[in-house]
Every structure is written in C-alpha cells, then in structure tokens.
Amino acid sequence: MDEKTPIIEVENLSKTFGLLPVLRSVNFGVARGETIVLLGQNGGGKSTLLRLLAGLSKPTAGLIRIGGWQMPKEAMEVRRQIGLVSHQSLLYGNLSARENLDFFGKLYGMAKDERAERIRVILDQVGLAKRADSLARDFSRGMQQRLSIARALLHQPEILLLDEPFTGLDQSAAERLEGLVMSAQREERTLIMTTHQLGRAPTLAGRALILSRGQIAFDGNIARMSAASLGELYAGLCGGATVA
C-alpha cells in the first residue's frame, strides 16, 4: 500500500442506537503513523467510534476501511493490525500478568517461544517485569492500565486505539502512561486516543478531531496550539471545557 494512502478511511459513518443517533455522517482519514486525539463531551460518540474502528460494533450506515479492508465485513483480515485499550481493563483478575498475556498471545496465534519472548519484552517495556506473576486483580489502577497496554501491544498491531487511557490515573501513573504512548509513536504505530484532558492533547498528538452532537465539528492541527486555546476552541464547539 502507498505510504500516503490513509490506513484508516471513514466515509459517511453513522451509528444509531434504537432511535438515538450517536454518530452522524462522520468523515475522516488517518495516515499511517499519525496520532489523533478524539475530543468531545460524554456521550458524544467517541467510544462508539473507537468500537466501530475496532470492529466490535457495526455501523448503521457508511463505510470504514482499514488498510484497504472493509469493516466489519472483512474484520478478520485486520484484527491482527488493531490493538484496543478500553476504559475497562479487558484483563482477567484471577490470572497473573504473564498468564493474561499468554492467553491473549494464544488467541493471536503466536507460537510458544515467540509468546514467551514477546511477553518478557513487553512486560519489561511497561515496567511490570517484576510483577509478572502477580494476579491482575492485585494491581493498582495504573498498573492495570499498563498491563492493558501490554495486552494491546502484544501482537505488535499497526493501529492502537486508546479509549480514555488517562482516566483514574494519578500524576505519576499518567506520566508513565504518556511515556508508553510516546514510545508507541516512535515505533510508528497509528494512534487514535480519546481523552477529556485537553491539556494533555497537544503534547500527545498533532491532530485533533472534536465530536459534537455525533458530528465532526473540528478536524485540524493542534501541535502548535496551547492548552488554553484548545480549551477555548473546544468550549466554542461543545460548550464548557476543563483544561486539565
């Protein structure tokens, strides 16, 4: 595939739950290796959009193409390319960190030796190597979030979707997580991240999409924007903003 061809293409995407429209005619493309933050109010459709991109939900109308494959019809072809960090941990509390990763490694068809090596590397990367055999339920929220990122990166996906990854983290856990996100950027992964922390957005991404009432109200460069001006823009589009 051509480097300039967007790895993610979304055309006229709509999603309705019952009679309630959550997304209305959403259009955007994401280039390979690009990082995007998705901003918007609660219930604005951010998580729904990520679930649609991950192939966990079906669009009511419109088209999603990932790496040229149409979702969700050809989702099986792109599942290996996608990693998702949800606001839920997606981990088994009764399994250790290593056992959790081993299970998901098996689901991604990784061979035993490859799995063991990859688990060692990724646990080291997220700073959980020493707690590899501790049960996930005994982890703090920050450690669970790091383990979730390890799970999402285990199979080395090209696209990483992060749904409010900073929620509930203290300052030091958030900084550690920010480091992991930046290291994923250095590895040239394509990142789409939802967040309510407007202050963090310009540091993490060059581009932002602001969803308002199920539509894209802003799609542009925020790399040179200050947190305050992004806050003003957000408040103008969505009404009311907190710059965290």
Q: Contact, 87 vs 161, CB < 8 A?
A: no
Hey, which residues does 61 pair with through a beta bridge? 14
54 binds another protein (CB under 8 A): yes
Q: Contact, 136 vs 93, CB < 8 A?
A: yes
Task: Pick between residue 116 and residue 244 the one whose CB is nearest to another protein.
Answer: 116
The DSSP code sequence of 7-72 is SEEEEEEEEEETTEEEEEEEEEEE-TT-EEEEEE-TTSSHHHHHHHHHTSS--SEEEEEETTEEET
The site string for another protein over 200-229 (x = CB under 8 A, - otherwise) reads ------------------------------
Hey, which residues does 192 pair with through a beta bridge? 36, 161
165 binds another protein (CB under 8 A): no
CA–CA separation, 38 and 40 (whole Å): 7
Neighbours of 104 (CB within 10 A): 20
The site string for another protein over 167-206 (x = CB under 8 A, - otherwise) reads ----------------------------------------
Q: Which stretch binds another protein (CB under 8 A): 28-36, 54-62, 122-130, 215-223?
A: 54-62
CA–CA separation, 193 and 50 (whole Å): 9
Judged by CB under 8 A, the chain residues 75 through 134 that form the site for another protein are 76-77, 79-80, 82, 84, 86, 88-95, 99, 103-104, 106-109
Task: Pick between residue 104 and residue 166 the one whose CB is nearest to another protein.
Answer: 104
The site string for another protein over 135-164 (x = CB under 8 A, - otherwise) reads x---------------x-------------
Binding site for another protein (CB under 8 A): 54-58, 72, 76-77, 79-80, 82, 84, 86, 88-95, 99, 103-104, 106-109, 135, 151
